[in-house]
Structure 1
Amino acid sequence: MQESVKLKTIDEYIGTCSKEIQPKLRKLRQIILDASPELTEKVSWNMPTFYFKGNVIHFAAHKKHIGLYCGAETVKIFSNILHSYKTSNGTIQISNDRELDIDLIQNIVRFNIEGNRNK
């Protein structure tokens, strides 16, 4: 993706990514949206962002992985499930050759929605 271009939609973002990863990004987007009808989409920090009373989750394509940016507390809460993923403060890396875990992603999204709802 070109970092200097200001993107306005998630479709634009996905269109800037390699053709090989685009289907996976579209699937990830749908998995996130299917987690809750309350989510809205936007582009924030030039990344696809899903919002409900605050940011819920972002994602970004990288050369060898997709980064899910869900917050440090969320990564800590889900750490027992994330042991096979590379994680850092608030980030989960999903290798490009790994299948998307629908249940895990949707549970993370729902957890963050509830956190935003209770703020």
Structure 2
Amino acid sequence: MATKPANIDAYIASFPADVATVLEEIRRTIAGVLPDATEAIAYDIPTFELNGHNVVHFAGWKQHVSLYPIPDGDAAFEREVEPYRAGKGTVKFPLGKPIPYDLVARIATMLAER
């Protein structure tokens, strides 16, 4: 995206339909577990905020979608997130493979609780 999107709708609309569908489902998933959050664009990517603070960001790319940051969790959480981890604070979900929306929801919930 060449210019900063005005809102999450504009951000998602800038992607091909297959990627936009995944981004929209990530958006719905996060909104479902963070009903009091507001949507924003921060760092040029979709962001959910609570009480004036960024909680979780997501982004689309050519071959994956990403979620940021990733909270620390117990051993079971770490095992679940490990296949998607791309650095300490990022997970990448490959396009063309099932997206673990339950994990997206859990990450958003954990971030909101910290």
Measured against the shorter chain, the TM-score band is: 0.7 to 0.9
Q: Give the drift of 1:103.
A: 1.9
Do structure 1's residue 16 and structure 2's residue 11 form an aligned pair? no
Instruction: Give the residue type in structure 1 aligned to 2:9.
Output: D
In the alignment, the residues of structure 1 paired with residue 18 and residue 80 of structure 2 have an alpha-carbon distance, to the nearest angstrom, of 27
**Gapped runs of 5+ residues in structure 1?**
none
Q: Give the drift of 1:21.
A: 0.8
What's the TM-score once normalised by structure 2's chain length? 0.88
**Gapped runs of 5+ residues in structure 2?**
none
**1:47 alignment counterpart:** 45
Q: Give the drift of 1:43.
A: 0.5
For 1:42-64, what per-residue CA distance to the aligned partner results, in whole angstroms no more than 9, with x for missing partners? 00111000111311111111111
Count of residue correspondences: 110
In the alignment, the residues of structure 2 paired with residue 103 and residue 21 of structure 1 have an alpha-carbon distance, to the nearest angstrom, of 18
Give SS of 1:8's match.
coil
Q: Give the drift of 1:70.
A: 1.9
Sequence identity percentage: 28
The 5 A counterparts of 1:49-64 are 49-53=47-51, 54-64=53-63
Give SS of 1:87's match.
coil
Q: Give the drift of 1:19.
A: 2.2
Q: Which of the pair is proportionally richer in helix? A: 2
The 5 A counterparts of 1:1-119 are 2=1, 4-53=2-51, 54-71=53-70, 74=71, 76-77=72-73, 78-115=77-114
Q: CA RMSD in A?
A: 1.4
In the alignment, the residues of structure 1 paired with residue 97 and residue 37 of structure 2 have an alpha-carbon distance, to the nearest angstrom, of 25
Q: Give the drift of 1:98.
A: 2.0
Q: Give the drift of 1:36.
A: 2.0
Instruction: Give the residue type in structure 2 aligned to 1:89.
Output: K
Give SS of 2:39's match.
strand
